[in-house]
Chains A and B, each alone.
Chain A
Amino acid sequence: MAKITFITKEGETIELEGTSGSVMELAVEHNVKGIDGDCGGVCSCATCHVHVRSEDVSKTGSASEIETDMLELDDFANEYSRLSCQLQISDALDGVVLTIAN
């Protein structure tokens, strides 16, 4: 079980708990605004872009090359950017705070 906190563009804080699947799927299931997951999680659309809180980067790890290439051309990308479809939910993610980029 991992508790994951989303902060939307409007500043709303949403706390969700998940056990499996991706962070994008958890967010879409709960209609978190700004996480659309249009491509269903195959790294093709960048509609699940989040910024990981700096102290949580050790929990999420860093982006793969394909993910980085995708984010490189996103106007809201920064060093904390991840595509949440590529973050698999496990106990290791417990407590992470993600700010939605779009």
Chain B
Amino acid sequence: MQKSELPDPFEEIRLKSGVGEMNDQDDPVKMVLRHKDVRKTAHNYKTFTSAAVPGRIVVPSEVNIRKTRQIPFELDPPIHGVYRAIVEPWFKRPLQADYAEKLTAQINALVEETLEKDKVEVIEEFALILQSRALTLLLNIPYEEASTWISWGTHVFRSEDTALDGDKANILYDYIDKQIEKAIKNPGEDLYSMLLASEFDGKKLTGEEVKGVMVLTFAGGRDTIINVVTNAITYLSEHQESLERFRKEPEIIGKAVEEMIRYFSPLTQMGRVVTEDTFVCEHAVKADTRVSLCWASANRDAAVFENPNEIVIDRKINPHVGFGFSHHNCLGASHARQIMKVLLSALAENVASIEVFDFKENIEDLGEFKRKVGYDYINAKFNRLTK
């Protein structure tokens, strides 16, 4: 098996029954595994709600460590749409030319720093730094703030010892509270200030609502970006020819990004709470229980994707659900796509090859499934392209 391979642990059960089972803190989850069922379930917000107790639709559940409702994520239409409309234009800023330029400068500088090193630990010394610096652009705050987030380490919510770490979560929540207080006293051009100036139903957003958007922004875009960046680096270490292709055919980079999002599925699944007794894929599910939309499984469904377990770097038709599906599709997707496009371009232009020395895989324990989602560490070296 190649180092960069992410096996599909769901195939057998997806074909056999279409639904997997996992226990999670005594609030079990029925995992929906087939592409069609995942999309249908995601779309049906009336029967499969996001507006449950805060933290419950996340797997593993965050009910015990979080009281703040993430907005617009933990709401259903039509209210969801009103909040989404407030934040959507801001989260589309990554498509603007000046944003892309700043991001390109950041990522080129990081690649250059990395090329100077004999060894780089790709999670802490590359992906985390890249993600944190890029987040200053998304929030439109000073670049220097990234050093605070880098100092938190890779897991804001999760620690190596326990699935959920309340103390670590509090670091983030306390930090956000302070930043909101600062923005109230001193409004600027940043995301906190934009949210504080926004209105819902004729009233200014409350501090708690602003916090809900900020928690989502920080939490949703951390492990996910780190996973996709590190998986991409490992893939390219074994596929130098793809770097070569990006140099010769830069127009395929957009497709390559979509394919990596599909294959790596940096977020394995997202839950919903069932509002009435019903069926998923012909399996009965009871009201007030949980189902999950298993993006990682749907993205390997051979009923939809030819050669699902291969990275086809210029895959032309790719209806993946790596950014979720329907009303709740990923708010940070434009930012994530831009990061990956810029990263692949920067690597193609400057890096001849990547050597991986050693690594440890990050395996998620999902009841009857074990899924590799990324790495705990990767020691590597980037070799310069001589032009």
Contact = CB atoms under 8 A, between A and B. Distances in A.
Contacts of A66: 304, 317, 319
A43 B320 CA distance: 8
Interface residues of B, number: 24
Contacts of A45: 323, 329
B258 A42 contact: yes
A36 B333 CA distance: 12
Contacts of B36: 69
Interface in B80-109: 92
A41 B334 CA distance: 14
A42 B255 contact: yes
Interface residues of A, number: 14
A40 B304 contact: no
Contacts of B39: 69, 73
B258 A40 contact: yes
B318 interface: yes
Interface in B331-356: 333-334, 337
B316 interface: yes
B43 A44 contact: no
Contacts of B92: 36
A42 B326 contact: no
A63 to B, nearest CB: 12
A88 to B, nearest CB: 12
B341 to A, nearest CB: 9
A44 B329 CA distance: 11
B254 interface: yes
A30 B254 CA distance: 19
A73 B40 CA distance: 7
Contacts of A42: 255, 258, 315-320
Given A73-B40, A73-B326, A38 B317 contact: no
B255 A69 contact: no
Contact of A38 (B255, B326, B334): B334
Interface string B255-287: 101100000000000000000000000000000
Contact of A43 (B43, B317, B325): B317
A43 B326 contact: no
Interface in A38-67: 38-45, 64, 66
